[in-house]
Amino acid sequence: MPERSNPPTPASAAKFIFVTGGVTSSLGKGIISASLAKLLQARGFRVTIQKFDPYINIDPGTLNPYEHGECYVTDDGAETDLDLGHYERFLNTPTSQANNVTTGRIYDTVIRREREGAFLGKTVQVVPHITDEIKRRMLLLGQGGEFDVVITEIGGCIGDIESLPFVEAVRQLRWELPPNDSLVIHLTLLPYLAAAGELKTKPTQHSVRDLREAGLQPDILVCRTEHSIPPEMRRKIALFCNVKINSVIESLDADTIYSVPLMMLKEQLDERVIKRLKLTGGAPQPDLEVWKDFLGRLKNPTEEVTIALVGKYVELPDAYKSINESFVHAGALNECRVKVRSIQSDHLTPENVAENLRGVDAVLVAPGFGERGFEGKIAAVQYVRENGIPFFGICLGMQVAVVEYARHVLGLPDANSTEMDALTPHPVIAMMESQKDITQKGGTMRLGAYACDLRRGSRAAKAYGKTHISERHRHRFEFNGEYLAQFEAAGMQASGTNPETGLVEIIELPQTVHPWFVAGQFHPELKSTVENPHPLFVRFVRAAMQYRKG
């Protein structure tokens, strides 16, 4: 018998949904995927989402935030696409290394296997070897019995050269999986031409044509649009794109991404999916009471604060996506609208910092790497510390606070981080011992969730309501413990430490000295969700509200 090019697909109890996009990027595949997942979860189904990215980087860990937005980190230490943040914020469940796969990781795996002789001398090709590896990873999360539905978002646009192996893998899976075990949702654009005064369907038709040429027929079309789709236009789209008219889903521009699940509920997207996949056992209607309560608080605030976000990537909002969304969550819980004022740290100096921070109710100094903008962040921290403005530092933001305190309170004017000055006489922030012999950049930082013990009675312990926590990290440098006694003698407390290594995780100033001055080496924004806003952000926003009231 001739050799089968594609091995049989392993049996799986899960159903698979593939989400593709066309016409243009940034249509919101991640938000549609997360919204559908939320609706299915709210009916009682166990759902997860994974993102397949077509770029050749192994992961986004070495990408400049201006290239790809923030790098999201999971509990198990994976550096992933920012869409995984949307997945976690919507579903309130953690993702993992398996939830984000790139072309680079696929090829790396296949090439390593080829070097080990796994292919028995055969010519290694895109089909079947690359597509087999893609399929294996697409099915992985559905094979452990943990999930009823696995949603796979395919990055990029239909027609992109780099996306073709992923689309081909999906085409093969549609044939290999049992009937009613998979479906394809295609997200496309209905542009509005002001000169003509109407929506145009041709880009959608061409996008679906390209998808069908690649061997995939969409089951459901989600059409991004600025205006409602008239019934006759829905019929036209259904006719030319070969889908049922009730599978043409309208996705209007929303006032907030958190409105999209309710918009998709109104469009009955979840019902179409349930019928097409023959899903059984779920509730007749999704339970979205907690979600609706959150939206009510978000859209009807009773107070407002302005918080400065000081960083060096502020021109691109996605560079600090999780921080901005954490403000949304914490603001809603406090029934407060948080207006974020982005400030480029490059532009801050001791001379202009007062002018730049005028009118803000609190300041967050953002994470980052490298020397650029570091001294501007120092100026911001000194100003808020000396003027009693609520302050929150994250990762590098904590390190900045430590350096600033050493220079201006401990009397060590040359204090610095060895990241900024390798020869500083007072390295109050230094490279971790475990990092000193590392030469490769990708995936080698202190990554993922680590335990932290909180000092009883501290601001941090009061915010969390407990003394043992776990938070996610992404850094190479740390607080230098040799200076800890000097800092504590001068009033800065180490209120959180790692129980195994003694690494300082949180520093703060007491209430008697400052209304709110807290900074963490970890990234609390990565654990904030709609249902569980992060307690440090909640307290920080509350401190801003109190400061505004005077």
For the segment 295-304, the average pLDDT, to the nearest whole number, is: 96
> Vertex 313, ends 72 and 525: CA angle to 5°?
35
**Active-site positions?**
395, 523, 525
pLDDT at 98: 92
Going by C-alpha positions, the residue among 18, 150, 155 that lies closest to residue 91 is 150
Q: CA–CA separation, 473 vs 129, rounded Å?
A: 35
Picking from 10-14, 209-213, 277-281, which range would have the lowest pLDDT averaged per residue? 10-14
What's the pLDDT band for 4 if we cut at 50, 70, 90?
very low
Give 6 or 297, the one with higher predicted confidence.
297
pLDDT at 65: 76
For the segment 513-527, the average pLDDT, to the nearest whole number, is: 96
How is residue 100 annotated by DSSP?
A: E
pLDDT at 550: 83
Token pair belonging to 498: 């790692």
Going by C-alpha positions, the residue among 293, 294, 39, 15 that lies closest to residue 139 is 15
CB of 366 within 8 A of CB of 310? yes
Q: CA–CA separation, 321 vs 250, rounded Å?
A: 26
DSSP secondary structure string for all residues of 150-211: EEEEEPS-TT-GGGHHHHHHHHHHHHHSPTTSEEEEEEEEE-EETTTTEE--HHHHHHHHHH
pLDDT tens track for 91-124: 999 999 999 999 999 999 999 999 999 998 899 9
Picking from 60-74, 108-122, 263-277, 370-384, which range would have the lowest pLDDT averaged per residue? 60-74
Q: First and final CA of the chain: distance in angstroms?
A: 83
The answer on pLDDT for 3 being more than 50 is no
Residue 221 neighbours by CB under 8 Å, 6+ apart: 185, 186, 187, 188, 204, 208, 237, 241, 243, 247, 248, 249
What's the pLDDT band for 316 if we cut at 50, 70, 90?
confident
What's the pLDDT band for 12 if we cut at 50, 70, 90?
low
pLDDT tens track for 482-511: 999 999 999 999 999 999 989 999 999 999
For the segment 65-74, the average pLDDT, to the nearest whole number, is: 82
Residue 362 neighbours by CB under 8 Å, 6+ apart: 305, 307, 308, 389, 390, 391, 392, 516, 540, 541, 543, 544, 547
Strand partners, 451: 470
Q: CA–CA separation, 321 vs 526, rounded Å?
A: 10
Q: CA–CA separation, 13 vs 34, rounded Å?
A: 21
pLDDT at 10: 53
The answer on pLDDT for 297 being more than 80 is yes
* Mean of pLDDT over the chain: 92
Taking the alpha carbons of 89, 94, 98, 102 in that order, is the dihedral positive or negative?
Answer: positive
Going by C-alpha positions, the residue among 204, 206, 208 that lies closest to residue 191 is 204
The answer on pLDDT for 1 being more than 70 is no
For the segment 289-312, the average pLDDT, to the nearest whole number, is: 96
What's the pLDDT band for 26 if we cut at 50, 70, 90?
confident
pLDDT tens track for 168-183: 999 999 999 998 999 9
Helices vs strands, H then E, count in the chain: 18, 23
| Rounded percentage of the chain residues whose pLDDT exceeds 70 | 95
pLDDT tens track for 353-382: 999 999 999 999 999 888 888 999 999 999
Which 3 state secondary structure label does DSSP give 394? strand
How is residue 141 annotated by DSSP?
A: T
CB of 412 within 8 A of CB of 419? no
- Chain length of the chain: 550
Distances (CA, A) of 66 to 325, 345, 519: 18, 15, 25
Query: Do strands 182-190 and 220-225 pair parallel, antiparallel, or not at all (unpaired)?
Result: parallel
Give 365 or 439, the one with higher predicted confidence.
365
3-state helix, strand, coil split of the chain in percent (to 5) is 40, 20, 40
CB of 396 within 8 A of CB of 366? yes
Backbone angles phi, psi at 314, to 5 degrees: -70, -15
The answer on pLDDT for 2 being more than 60 is no
pLDDT at 380: 97
CB of 312 within 8 A of CB of 368? yes
For the segment 463-467, the average pLDDT, to the nearest whole number, is: 96
| Rounded percentage of the chain residues whose pLDDT exceeds 90 | 81
